[in-house]
Amino acid sequence: MSEPVASKDSPYAVEAKAGEKYFWCACGRSAGQPFCDGAHKGTGLGPKVFTAEQDETLYLCGCRRTRTPPFCDGTHSRL
C-alpha cells in the first residue's frame, strides 16, 4: 500500500450542496483536487465518500494527514 501524498499545504474550501455525494481524494494523486479522479488505482487507497448535510462551505484536507478525513483539522499547520 502506498502512502498518501500532500497535494496542498492548506485546506480546499468547497461550496457543498445539501444531499450531494462527494468523493474526496484520499491518496493526493488526483488531477482534480480535492476530488477523486481514479488516480489512486494500484495504491491501495481509495476515496472517502460523504454526503453534504446542508449547503455550506466545507474545508477539505489537502495535506492528507487530518485525523478527521475528509475534513481539515489543522494538522497542516504542524507539519
Per-residue pLDDT of the chain (79 residues; tens, 9 = 90+): 689 999 999 999 999 999 999 999 999 999 999 999 999 999 999 999 999 999 999 999 999 999 999 999 999 999 8
Can you give the pLDDT at residue 38?
97
The domain tally of the chain equals: 1
Can you give the pLDDT at residue 79?
86
| Residue 70: cis peptide before it, omega within 30 degrees of 0 | yes
* Region of 23 on the Ramachandran plot (φ > 0 left; ψ -120 to 50 alpha; else beta): beta
Closest listed residue to residue 79, CA positions, set 68, 67, 63? 63
**What is the domain extent for residue 10?**
1-79
Can you give the pLDDT at residue 18?
98
CA dist 12 and 60 (Å) reads 5
